[in-house]
Structure 1
Amino acid sequence: MPNASDNRLSDYPRPNVAVDIAVLTVVAGQVHVVVQRMPEGEQAALPGRFIRERRTVGDTVCEVLELKLGLSADDVRPHLLEVFSEPDRDPRGWTVSVAHSVALPSDELAQVIGELQPLTLEGALESGERLLYDHDLIVAAATDKLRRRYEDQPDPDHLLRPPYTLTDLRELHEAILGRRLMRDSFNRRVEPLLAPQVDAMGKPETRLGGGRPARLFSPSNPPTATFGYRLPSADEK
């Protein structure tokens, strides 16, 4: 009887392994994702790339960002979502996807290769179009993870450019969470977790808006504190 140690790696079938990335942002109070099409304009898909020989998953994430999207991988914090491994997920052949997500400010995507598509609260394309392979599942997972992060910390993905007002921050969280938040309760929860902006004299810096001047804040350093429990919605008693 052959010993298991006699088996060689070549005795086992090998899937293709790819990295697919859902790049998310917020535009006009709505979460968007970057999708790409072939020159023929066929069905859209997430940007991705097969892992080349002697390259790591991390290397491939950077290659997708730089080669497929035209973005700099510097200072980008990719989030590992999960491994999508249904045998029939790609009709071209057995392919496993190590899916990631990235959340970036919208101004960093001005020259991105692809198109920004608005998403529903469930993480589907608002247009109703279906993405290739199982990329709809990847986008849904990415938006769910994004929502969980924003339920836990003030702007953990740094989608806002500091300094910002508490109203700016609340509107960002409302766009991602998909519900209106209680203004006063939100302010009480987040203000202790932020760094107030002060001028050279130590006085609070403000921004003039439609009403009275609003105080300006930046992320705390390091931004480790969390809300502690779910942010209350505006319609909750």
Structure 2
Amino acid sequence: MFVTTRSTTLTDYPRPNVAVDIAVLAVSGGTLNVVIQRDEQGRAALPGRFVRERRTVEETVREVLELKLGLSPDHVHPHLLAVFSDPDRDPRGWTISVAHAVALPAVELSDVTGELAPVTSTGQLASGERVLYDHAEIIAAATDKLRERYEDQPDPDNLLRPPYTLSELRELHEAILGRRLMRDSFNRRAQPLLAPQLDADGKPATRVGGGRPARLYAKDAPPTATFGWRLPSPRADTR
């Protein structure tokens, strides 16, 4: 028995739309935020753009940064997060999202097109507002990846401008991780990866912030240096 197969071309197969969505994260007001934009009906969503004909994903990322967010594609470099391909993720039609994420200092987003919306430890908008499509899943994935990095290294995304105090560094990590950290234990793990700053006289540089002067630091370790293990939180009965 012979099985016959008919000749096919790529045009014989259905084609999904392809989009790029970007989760831009920042710490502001002591909490983790994501940049959202709104459609004509005022509904919240991540900034994104469909990949145009003969355009690459990388080119579309640059277009989202420049055309949708008003950010410089030469200075902001989102990383590939994941591909979201549930056929029902977009009610407008079959669409695959090549999702990206980037964390930036809040000061660099002062003129961004959109609004900073606080997010919870599970990646949901703290306001309880729903975002369109499966963008809540993209935000959750982006915040999970960010927290993994901040469990492992001191400010790996350079969200703090040096020099900074150990308290400022710990508060940044607490905002991202969504929980308090043990101060003394955090300091012991962070200090070996930091460089104490000196003033013009070669003495330890300090900053006064309401209490006694606090030493100032900057990162002084290879990019591969880590805390060694998960950052400890206070016990429930010591909060």
- TM-score, normalised via structure 1 length: 0.93
1:189 to 1:77, Cα distance in 2 relative to 1, 3 A: farther
CA-to-partner distance for each residue in 1:14-44, whole Å, 9 max, x for gaps? 1111100011111111111111112x34311
Identity of aligned residues (%): 72
Write the deviation string for residues 51-84 of structure 1: whole angstroms up to 9, x where unpaired.
1223222221111111100011233231222110
* C-alpha distance after superposition, 1:75-125 (max 9, x if no partner): 323122211001011111110001111111111111111111111111101
Q: After the TM superposition, which of the residue ranges 94-103 and 219-228 deviates more from structure 2?
A: 219-228
Report the CA distance shift for 1:149/1:48 in structure 2 as closer, same or farther (over 3 A).
same
| The 10-residue stretch of structure 1 (109-118 or 212-221) with the greater mean CA deviation from structure 2 | 212-221
CA distance in 2, matches of 1:186, 1:215: 15
Q: Secondary structure at the match of 1:117?
A: strand
1:222: how far off?
Answer: 4.0
Question: Residues 24-35 of structure 1: matches in 2 within 5 Å?
Answer: 24-35=25-36
Q: 1:12 to 1:205 in 2, by over 3 A?
A: same
| CA RMSD between the two structures | 1.8
Q: Please name the residue that 1:19 is paired with.
A: 20
Q: Which runs of 5+ in 1 are unaligned?
A: none
Alignment partner of 1:143: what SS?
A: helix
Change (3 A) 1:74 1:194: farther
Q: Aligned in 2, Cα 1:188/1:10: closer, same or farther, shift over 3 Å?
A: same
Secondary structure in 1 matching 2:81: strand
Cα distance, 1:234 vs structure 2: 1.9
Establish whether residue 204 from structure 1 lines up as the match of residue 216 from structure 2.
no
2:158 maps to 1:137? no
1:163-184 Cα deviation digits (max 9, x unpaired):
1111000000011111111111
1:127 aligns with 2:127: yes
SS at match of 1:195: strand
Q: What SS does the corresponding residue of 2:62 show, helix, strand or coil?
A: helix
Q: How does 1:73-84 map onto structure 2 within 5 Å?
A: 73-84=73-84
Matching of residue 67 in structure 1 with residue 57 in structure 2: no
In 2, the alpha carbon distance for the partners of 1:9 and 1:228 equals: 50
Q: 1:2 deviation in Å?
A: 5.1
Amino acid at match of 1:110: S
Equivalent residue of 2:226, what SS? coil
Q: 1:164 to 1:179 in 2, by over 3 A?
A: same
Aligned to 2:162: 162
Q: What per-residue deviation string (whole Å, max 9, x for no partner) do you get for residues 142-183 of structure 1?
A: 111111111011111111111111100000001111111111
1:47 & 1:158 partners in 2: Cα distance? 23
Structure 2 runs not aligned, ≥5 long: none
TM-score, structure 2 length as denominator?
Answer: 0.92
Residue pairs, 1:80-229, within 5 angstroms: 80-220=80-220, 222-229=222-229
